[in-house]
């Protein structure tokens, strides 16, 4: 009897229907950065105690961390499950609790694809399971990192593995054929010089060889005071708080929303060198900021919100009226600086008809046109096997 230790899996409110039958690495879903339909956290709270943590609040932070256990029936319609959206799945207590490991085991058994986000080097313990998942295209590991400057990280990520260690983890995973990416989160204006950010992006690209996501620091109204105290510690570590304070003033304007990031004019000086370094290193750069907004126009060579998702692509095709052929699509898509590897992936999905599954486009010859029926998978290979709970 296998006990399922899945924590309750929540369905994100911004999500859309995801096809579930694709091999992970060639799935259109990997292009949709941040549009995960399902996510789970294996712990309530986090022992890494990062100063900038968005979930810093009474009773849900630091050493009061408690593992979360529960069970759910295996479901075929979860799509890719994102582990580690709010608390780290490989924080120290996982060494004993093994809750994250139990999820990997269950996912392998019932064939659910996982995206694992962590700062923890303990992820290497599970290489055996990750390799098995990777063989079937069912996993990607994403290392979260904010800078290579260890003088800063020892102050603001006191219990997390060093950036050097996280680079080593990524390289080790990649060497074992486990897909790996980086998540620069939070990207904090003023933390690094433009030169350092560029070198940082390049180093990450070289270590993972695939893609680097970034997300600007998020501000949350309920936690703003303790959060800003953490930012003061960052200021001490950086020696200057000016850039940060301009981007995130103490009296941050939450009138539009209880959650927010800095205005784009402050984000751009950090996004630009990071993007340049990542693309120079041969990986794709994906800015995930403001993922709930439309993509908007290119500004100074930076796509304002994010790399186009499949739905952005389909909107673009629909807006063109007639049939859109690949060369025209490619001209538009190249503006966003995708890596050659990503262009190759998009082209293969364009050709085999998977790129626009779940959207209202119709295939016509070698192109696509708007106003079609909802495109559904032609085949459905993911069969969820219900595992008995002890
Ligand atoms: S690793 Fe993530 S969840 Fe844990 S303290 Fe740091 S930011 Fe918060």
Each residue's pLDDT tens digit, 109-162: 877 778 899 999 999 999 999 999 988 778 889 999 999 999 889 888 889 999
Containing 145, the helix (H) or strand (E) segment is strand 139-145
* Cα–Cα distances in angstroms (integers) from residue 314 to residues 15, 297, 308, 367, in the given order: 16, 16, 10, 12
Task: Give the distance (Å) from ligand 1 centre to CA of residue 252.
Answer: 22
* pLDDT at 340 (0 to 100): 77
* pLDDT at 75 (0 to 100): 52
Q: Tell me which architecture the domain covering 10-307 has in CATH.
A: Alpha-Beta Horseshoe (3.80)
Number of neighbours of residue 172 by Cβ within 10 angstroms? 16
Cα 389 from Cα 291, distance rounded (Å): 37
Check pocket membership of 118 for ligand 1, CB cut-off 6 A: no
Check pocket membership of 119 for ligand 1, CB cut-off 6 A: yes
Whose tokens are 């993972």? That residue is 208
Check pocket membership of 46 for ligand 1, CB cut-off 6 A: yes
* Stronger pLDDT, 74 or 276, i.e. the higher one: 276
Q: Tell which phi-psi region holds residue 102, choosing left (phi > 0), alpha (psi between -120 and 50) or beta.
A: alpha
Q: For a substitution probing ligand 1, which of 45, 47, 53 has the most ligand atoms within 8 Å of its CB?
A: 53
Residue nearest to atom 7 of ligand 1 (CA): 53
Closest CA to 185 of 265, 88, 288: 288
Check pocket membership of 342 for ligand 1, CB cut-off 6 A: no
Lowest-confidence region among 61-70, 197-206, 235-244: 61-70
| CB contact at 8 A, 96 and 67 | no
Cα 37 from Cα 251, distance rounded (Å): 34
What are residue 59's phi and psi, to 5 degrees? 80, 0
Task: Give the distance (Å) from ligand 1 centre to CA of residue 218.
Answer: 13
| CB contact at 8 A, 52 and 78 | no
By DSSP bridging, strand 211-216 and strand 219-220 are unpaired
Report, as an integer, the average pLDDT of 352-369.
82
Whose tokens are 């582990």? That residue is 83
Check pocket membership of 50 for ligand 1, CB cut-off 6 A: yes
Here the tokens at position 151 are 């003088």
Task: Give the distance (Å) from ligand 1 centre to CA of residue 346.
Answer: 33
* Cα–Cα distances in angstroms (integers) from residue 150 to residues 146, 164, 229, 256, 336, in the given order: 10, 8, 20, 36, 32
Residue nearest to atom 4 of ligand 1 (CA): 46
Check pocket membership of 218 for ligand 1, CB cut-off 6 A: no
What is the share, in percent, of the chain residues with pLDDT greater than 70?
A: 69
Lowest-confidence region among 93-107, 195-209, 326-340: 326-340
Tell me the pLDDT band of 375, cut-offs 50, 70 and 90: low
pLDDT tens sequence across 163-215: 999 999 999 999 999 989 999 999 998 889 999 999 999 999 999 988 888 88
Q: For a substitution probing ligand 1, which of 119, 183, 227 has the most ligand atoms within 8 Å of its CB?
A: 119
**70 exposure class (CB count in 10 Å sphere: 0-12, 13-18, 19+):** exposed
Which range, 40-44, 212-216, 303-307, has the best average confidence (pLDDT)?
A: 212-216
| CB contact at 8 A, 30 and 57 | no
* Stronger pLDDT, 161 or 341, i.e. the higher one: 161
pTM score of the predicted model: 0.74
Helices (H), strands (E): how many in the chain? 12, 16
* pLDDT at 200 (0 to 100): 98
Give the 3-state secondary structure percentages of the chain, helix then strand then coil, rounded to 5. 40, 15, 45
Q: Which residues contact 81 (CB under 8 A, 6 or more apart)?
A: 9, 36, 38, 39, 40, 107, 112, 113, 114, 115
Task: Give the distance (Å) from ligand 1 centre to CA of residue 144.
Answer: 9
Report, as an integer, the average pLDDT of 63-87.
62
Grouping H, G, I as helix, E, B as strand and the rest as coil, residue 229 is: helix
The ranges assigned to domains in the chain are 10-307
* Stronger pLDDT, 259 or 14, i.e. the higher one: 259
Q: What is the DSSP string of 316-339?
A: HHHHT-SPBPHHHHHHHHHTT---
């Amino acid at each position: 009897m296998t006990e399922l230790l899945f924590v309750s899996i929540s369905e994100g409110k911004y999500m859309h229907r995801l096809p579930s039958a694709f091999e992970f690495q060639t799935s259109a879903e990997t292009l949709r950065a941040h549009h995960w339909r399902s996510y789970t956290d294996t712990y309530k709270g986090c022992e890494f105690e990062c100063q900038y943590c968005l979930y810093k609040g009474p009773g849900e932070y630091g050493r009061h961390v408690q593992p979360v256990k529960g069970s759910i029936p295996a479901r075929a319609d979860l799509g890719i499950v994102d582990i580690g959206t709010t608390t780290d799945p490989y924080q120290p207590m996982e060494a004993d609790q093994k809750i994250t490991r139990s999820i990997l085991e269950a996912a392998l058994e019932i064939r659910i694809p996982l995206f694992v986000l962590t700062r923890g080097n303990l992820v290497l313990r599970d290489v055996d399971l990750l390799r098995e998942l990777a063989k079937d295209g069912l996993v990607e590991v994403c290392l979260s990192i904010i800078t290579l400057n260890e003088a800063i990280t020892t102050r603001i990520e006191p219990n997390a593995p060093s950036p050097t260690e996280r680079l080593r983890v990524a390289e080790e995973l990649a060497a074992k054929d486990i897909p790996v990416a980086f998540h620069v989160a939070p990207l904090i204006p003023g933390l690094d010089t433009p030169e350092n950010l560029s070198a940082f992006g390049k180093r990450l690209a070289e270590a993972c060889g695939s893609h680097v996501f970034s997300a600007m620091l998020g501000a949350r109204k309920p936690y703003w005071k303790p959060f800003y105290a953490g930012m003061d510690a960052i200021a001490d570590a950086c020696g200057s708080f000016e850039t940060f304070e301009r981007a995130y003033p103490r009296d941050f304007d939450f009138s539009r929303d209880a959650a927010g990031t800095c205005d784009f004019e402050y984000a751009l000086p950090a996004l630009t060198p990071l993007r340049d370094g990542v693309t120079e290193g041969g990986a794709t750069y994906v800015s995930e900021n403001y993922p709930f907004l439309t993509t908007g126009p290119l500004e100074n060579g930076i796509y304002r919100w994010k790399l186009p998702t499949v739905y952005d692509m389909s909107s673009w095709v629909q807006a063109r009226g007639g049939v859109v052929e690949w060369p025209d699509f490619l001209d538009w898509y190249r503006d966003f600086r995708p890596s050659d590897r990503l262009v190759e992936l998009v082209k293969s999905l364009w050709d085999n008809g998977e790129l626009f599954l779940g959207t209202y486009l119709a295939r016509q010859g070698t192109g696509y046109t708007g106003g079609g029926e909802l495109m559904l998978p032609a085949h459905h290979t993911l069969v969820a096997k219900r595992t008995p709970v002890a």
